[in-house]
Structure 1
Amino acid sequence: MGESSFIMFGDMISCCEGNNIRNESKKKVFIIVYNQQALNDWQHQIPIMKDIMNLNPVLWLNPKLKNMNEIASLPLEGEDIKKAELLWQRFAPFLENEFPETADTKGMIESPLKRIDHMKEKYFSDMEGALYLKCDHALPIAGSIKARGGIYEVLQHAENLALEAGLVQKNDDYMKFSSKSFKSFFSQYSIGVGSTGNLGLSIGVISAKLGFNVSVYMSVDAKQWKKDLLRKKGAHVLEFQGDFSEAISAGREQTMADPKGYFVDDEDSENLFLGYSVAALRLKEQLYRENITVDADHPLFVYLPCGVGGSPGGITFGLKQVFGDHVHCFFAEPTHSPSVLIGLATREMDRVSVQDFGIDNRTEADGLAVGRPSRFATAISDQLVSGIYTIEDKELYRLLAMLADTEKIYLEPSATAGITGHRQIEPYVREHAIELSNATHIAWATGGSLVPEKDMEIFYNKGKRLI
């Protein structure tokens, strides 16, 4: 490996970006600056690296993937998922009271599992197995997969504060959290989050509803309608011209300067991860109701759009706890933002960004526009994810229009990234000698139901022109 260097001054870190030096404070990590020799070495060691750097779609199979009985330990266990589900259950009365859209599920935040046969018949008639869409675009409150992790972390923080203050016990009726006294109590605390859009939306909505002072630090990729909706819901929105890394760094610094501030750190959050992982328990129930078996003869393939890696990583962790080696999870990233792919393939994890490889991190898939992966999530996904593929923006738009035409389901561009996952896996299936005739394929739809009609019309028309 070629030489690399870093610059660090106490709590101040200088990160080289081209000819520029950017200072980030209060985050004691080493930002490594790789020279051309190091990049050349990686291109030699990782055959697909040239294609990644040239923005060509690729498939990477994880050489570190392990069977569950081969994994000595992970930072979290299956028992942690069960504890997270209990917190969701405690807050169900509060959520049902504050958000009428959760009445049908009695305060639980969950989405349907829908078989998309029309899409399959028209566009994927040669695929083996059944194709389903996990409709997290329809999750109540926040309209995206981030409702799982974001809302969970804020609820967990609110519960901890209330427990420490003696305001509640875990066997109480959590309708208490709807009272004026509780909202007055939380008003003395602040919450911050850096976001490309959807995570900020989930954090902003639930935090404001509980009574927190909430600030959302939005990157340049965030859509205007998401900023407008956040402000309408009572969140303070701060906009940045840089990408996700700039927004999260600024948010972390400013939030932690407040003694009563709490920062939801998408790059390093165990609680976000746990919130996502509970989806596996819910999916198990849905598959059971659909009479879908998951075992060696009936493999389950799940395709997850990936940004910083927290939501797909958390869901993968949960699925592996539930279904073991019979589930095979693949992440999907934009060709312009393959942060988790580069982190895992180089073994540098969160110490590298896509910009280190000359990749611009500019994509229409705003929820996936992340240059540096999550430290916490990537370390766990390293042993669990089967592979990662990249996809071009124009393909996301095409899939958006195709799904709308065949199933009358409307997603954000980023949320369509998992729909063609079944087309990517042939080398993996061959390597692992997997029979697909009885396979179940699930594309995880991550956002879209709250997109304004005029914006969705623009997305759809663009996709139709590309088909």
Structure 2
Amino acid sequence: MTTEQIVFPEGVPESRPIWWRNTKYKSDTGIENQSKVSMDDLNGAVKSWMRFNDVLAELFSDISIGNGAQSELIHLNCSEFPSGCVLVKADHKIKTTGSIKGRGGVYEVLSYAEDILQSHGVGCRADPMALLSSEARNIFERYRIVVGSTGNLAFSVGMVGRKLGFRVEVHMSRDAKAWKKVRLRSAGVNVVEHDNDYSHAVAAARAVASSDAFTYFIDDENSVKLLVGYSAAALEISNQLEETGIRISHDNPLFVYLPCGVGGAPGGITLGLKNIFGSNVHCIFVEPVASPSMLVQLASGSVRPVNVYACGLSNETIADGLAVAQASMLVAEVVGHQIAGVATVLDDDLSEWVERMWTLAGLRLEPSGAAGFAAFARHGSVIRHSFDSSRASTNIIWTTGGSFFPDLEWASAREHGQRVLSSRPNSGG
């Protein structure tokens, strides 16, 4: 199939915010491609995270926010969202890296560290704290981890990799924020800057790693480890809902709004949630109007990569974590039929909700982290009706990035949001 034969959904080439319901959505099916990701993988990830809890508590004992690679579920009492129960999955407060990427990136680094120690005859699966021993550090210092990113995955991999003793090299696209590069370099990470987009940075990192047996490449586009690392968050959500007395069912379906860049984080979480809640959960991916990579890939119907440039889009957005032109083909193949649909939002929507969620609920978010609120406010009613959900529902809006936002950057983001709000006196519904 060539790009000339593809008819993209109305509004996408014009950069209009839309709700696109996935025409291939199968709400009641589980993992179909067992050859790439199996139920054993998902269950194994949950067990591995349990092993890693004490390691993370020790590694990040100097950081006060959050709880390892977990985050709280916040009930949002806000008149801006009158429909149904609205909860916030506060991954912007994750202790390790302050973003959803702390789930997949940290998981893959720790899994790789275990494999390295095992290959050197150092048993650590029975006692994961062996990962923090001087013997382990001496071994890790011989190895290098390489990753390509717009920012938050590099941030996650870089911080935990360096704390363990690995040499870390991150290749960052032109969309990456300067403050993230500064923070990584201050931690001893080698930051390689590229005057090109995310896909170029990933390709460059892949090329570097391919020529060195002591270098490990974390592949944001194709890593099963990342995908299953994210999936474990679903059990976390299930336990938190149970603790608060919320029961998800046919009469109280769950709608989850997930910011989407390349797709690994929302894809893994979707796998886990569909495994637990089945047809009673609908996962909504949220993308900027200039970078709807997953929407373009799924809507094309193609088994080959189709990027946002194919429909004339720029891939230029203030949401650096979501500035991805080409979605993960692994996620499109393995998770595509489980994605309920994609909601796109304007950059001004993101700025507006950065400011709104600070003033309304005290949530300190990057523009990427505000994507779910922007989508819920703009499209939430239409989305519920598209699933014939006029009855009660529970809505979870996933946040990512912001708690480590430098004060100057934060002030600038708020000022932009205030300007948008002043031009939208009747916005918010």
Name stretches of at least 5 consecutive residues in structure 1 with no aligned partner: 5-33
Please tell me whether residue 81 in structure 1 is matched to residue 42 in structure 2: yes
Distance 1:275 1:178, change over 3 A: same
Residue in 1 that maps onto 2:6 = 42
* Aligned counterparts, 1:260-275, within 5 A: 260-275=214-229
Residue in 1 that maps onto 2:201 = 247
* Aligned counterparts, 1:369-380, within 5 A: 369-380=323-334
Residue in 1 that maps onto 2:397 = 443
Distance, in Å, in 2 between the alignment partners of 1:356 and 1:257 is 32
Secondary structure at 1:417 match in 2:
helix
| Contact 1:350-1:374 within 8 A present in 2 as well | no
* Aligned counterparts, 1:314-325, within 5 A: 314-325=268-279
| Contact 1:340-1:349 within 8 A present in 2 as well | no
Residue in 1 that maps onto 2:137 = 183
Distance 1:229 1:72, change over 3 A: closer
User: Following TM superposition, by how much is the alpha carbon of 1:202 offset from its aligned partner in structure 2, in angstroms?
Assistant: 0.3
Distance, in Å, in 1 between the alignment partners of 2:314 and 2:114 is 40
Of 92, 95, 102 in structure 1, the residue corresponding to residue 53 of structure 2 is 92
Distance 1:331 1:349, change over 3 A: farther
Q: Residues 384-422 of structure 1: CA distance to partner in whole angstroms, max 9, x if unpaired?
A: 011001111011000110111111111000111111434
Deviates more, 1:63-72 or 1:333-342: 63-72
Distance, in Å, in 1 between the alignment partners of 2:120 and 2:64 is 30
Residue in 1 that maps onto 2:110 = 155
Residue in 1 that maps onto 2:426 = none
Distance, in Å, in 2 between the alignment partners of 1:104 and 1:168 is 31
Q: Residues 32-81 of structure 1: CA distance to partner in whole angstroms, max 9, x if unpaired?
A: xx4xxx1xx433xx442xx2111111111111111334865543233322
| Contact 1:330-1:421 within 8 A present in 2 as well | no
User: Following TM superposition, by how much is the alpha carbon of 1:260 offset from its aligned partner in structure 2, in angstroms?
Assistant: 1.2
User: Following TM superposition, by how much is the alpha carbon of 1:255 offset from its aligned partner in structure 2, in angstroms?
Assistant: 1.6
Residue in 2 that maps onto 1:359 = 313
Secondary structure at 2:95 match in 1:
coil
Secondary structure at 2:250 match in 1:
coil
Residue in 2 that maps onto 1:130 = 85
Q: For this pair of structures, how many residues does the alignment match?
A: 419
Distance, in Å, in 2 between the alignment partners of 1:223 and 1:72 is 37
Deviation beyond 3 Å, 4+ runs, structure 1: 69-75, 101-105, 420-423, 425-432
| Contact 1:266-1:310 within 8 A present in 2 as well | yes
Distance, in Å, in 1 between the alignment partners of 2:278 and 2:333 is 18
Distance, in Å, in 1 between the alignment partners of 2:285 and 2:384 is 16
TM-score if structure 1 supplies the norm length? 0.86
Q: Residues 78-113 of structure 1: CA distance to partner in whole angstroms, max 9, x if unpaired?
A: 3322211221222222222221157998x7421011
* Identity among equivalent pairs (%): 38
Please tell me whether residue 230 in structure 1 is matched to residue 184 in structure 2: yes
User: Following TM superposition, by how much is the alpha carbon of 1:349 offset from its aligned partner in structure 2, in angstroms?
Assistant: 5.3
Over the aligned positions, Cα root-mean-square deviation in angstroms equals: 1.8
| Contact 1:134-1:443 within 8 A present in 2 as well | yes
Distance, in Å, in 2 between the alignment partners of 1:220 and 1:294 is 42
Distance, in Å, in 1 between the alignment partners of 2:125 and 2:64 is 22
User: Following TM superposition, by how much is the alpha carbon of 1:350 offset from its aligned partner in structure 2, in angstroms?
Assistant: 5.6
Distance, in Å, in 2 between the alignment partners of 1:350 and 1:158 is 33
Q: Residues 437-465 of structure 1: CA distance to partner in whole angstroms, max 9, x if unpaired?
A: x2111110011100111110110111011
| Contact 1:102-1:108 within 8 A present in 2 as well | no
Distance, in Å, in 1 between the alignment partners of 2:370 and 2:289 is 14
User: Following TM superposition, by how much is the alpha carbon of 1:430 offset from its aligned partner in structure 2, in angstroms?
Assistant: 3.5
User: Following TM superposition, by how much is the alpha carbon of 1:267 offset from its aligned partner in structure 2, in angstroms?
Assistant: 0.6
User: Following TM superposition, by how much is the alpha carbon of 1:185 offset from its aligned partner in structure 2, in angstroms?
Assistant: 0.3
Residue in 2 that maps onto 1:411 = 365
| Contact 1:190-1:262 within 8 A present in 2 as well | yes
| Contact 1:421-1:443 within 8 A present in 2 as well | no
Distance, in Å, in 1 between the alignment partners of 2:29 and 2:294 is 24
| Contact 1:96-1:102 within 8 A present in 2 as well | no
Distance, in Å, in 2 between the alignment partners of 1:298 and 1:421 is 20
User: Following TM superposition, by how much is the alpha carbon of 1:130 offset from its aligned partner in structure 2, in angstroms?
Assistant: 1.0
Bigger RCO (CA 8 Å, 6+ sep)? 2
Q: Residues 236-260 of structure 1: CA distance to partner in whole angstroms, max 9, x if unpaired?
A: 1000110101111111101221111
Distance 1:151 1:389, change over 3 A: same
Secondary structure at 1:271 match in 2:
helix
**Quick one: which amino acid aligns to residue 424 of structure 1?**
H
Please tell me whether residue 146 in structure 1 is matched to residue 101 in structure 2: yes
| Contact 1:149-1:275 within 8 A present in 2 as well | yes
**Quick one: which amino acid aligns to residue 190 of structure 1?**
R
Deviates more, 1:61-70 or 1:265-274: 61-70
Please tell me whether residue 109 in structure 1 is matched to residue 69 in structure 2: yes
User: Following TM superposition, by how much is the alpha carbon of 1:357 offset from its aligned partner in structure 2, in angstroms?
Assistant: 2.0
| Contact 2:345-2:374 within 8 A present in 1 as well | no
TM-score if structure 2 supplies the norm length? 0.93
Distance, in Å, in 2 between the alignment partners of 1:91 and 1:292 is 28
Residue in 1 that maps onto 2:282 = 328
Secondary structure at 1:372 match in 2:
coil
Q: Residues 245-288 of structure 1: CA distance to partner in whole angstroms, max 9, x if unpaired?
A: 11111111012211111100001010000111000000101101
Distance 1:71 1:261, change over 3 A: closer
User: Following TM superposition, by how much is the alpha carbon of 1:233 offset from its aligned partner in structure 2, in angstroms?
Assistant: 1.2
Distance 1:70 1:410, change over 3 A: closer
